[in-house]
Structure 1
């Protein structure tokens, strides 16, 4: 089944969910950055970077596919790589003190 076979309703729902994920992820990243700026703790700085990467990864596949015409599979691969990098940075930030 092709990615386009889901219909217009699914595309709208996906756009709404991705937008909400971007807003919430951006808020979490902003709050982590404010905490880092207030305390200057390296772990909070890394946490900010990690959440930023995950948030960017959440919206990357659709953006690349819709706007730049990149293959959906390539977009999903890049999205997954950014999310993996973000989760690795988050894990490292929680490991180091």
Structure 2
């Protein structure tokens, strides 16, 4: 795939944003997991898992699209399913607390 001009700019911007999401989402997941380990509260463990799924879904969709050469729609569906699962786990963590 050849990128020109504004397409290249958008690809770089997307890569930067995805990297920042990975870093921030990873930090949130780490701190939630650290709080779970410190307190032993099951809800914090679910919260960490939920944020991990959301972060993983957001980042992996682009990676899967690029590396496995799948359709963009399938990549977006994959991302959405992981994010939905993550949000369900986060909601459950808030419900059980």
Q: TM-score, normalised by structure 2?
A: 0.92
1:58 corresponds to: 58
Q: Tell me whether 1:22 sits opposite 2:22 in the alignment.
A: yes
**1: CA distance, partners of 2:80 / 2:65:** 14
SS in 1 for 2:70: coil
Deviation at 1:85, TM superposition (A): 0.5
2:13 corresponds to: 13
Deviation at 1:82, TM superposition (A): 0.3
1:80 corresponds to: 80
**1: CA distance, partners of 2:51 / 2:83:** 9
RMSD of aligned residue pairs (Cα, Å): 1.4
Deviation at 1:67, TM superposition (A): 1.1
Deviation at 1:13, TM superposition (A): 0.2
Q: Tell me whether 1:71 sits opposite 2:66 in the alignment.
A: no
**2: CA distance, partners of 1:65 / 1:84:** 19
Deviation at 1:72, TM superposition (A): 1.2
The count of aligned residue pairs is 94
What residue ranges of structure 2 are gaps of 5+ in the alignment? none
What residue ranges of structure 1 are gaps of 5+ in the alignment? none
Question: Any runs of at least 4 consecutive aligned residues in structure 1 with deviations exceeding 2 A, and if so which?
Answer: none
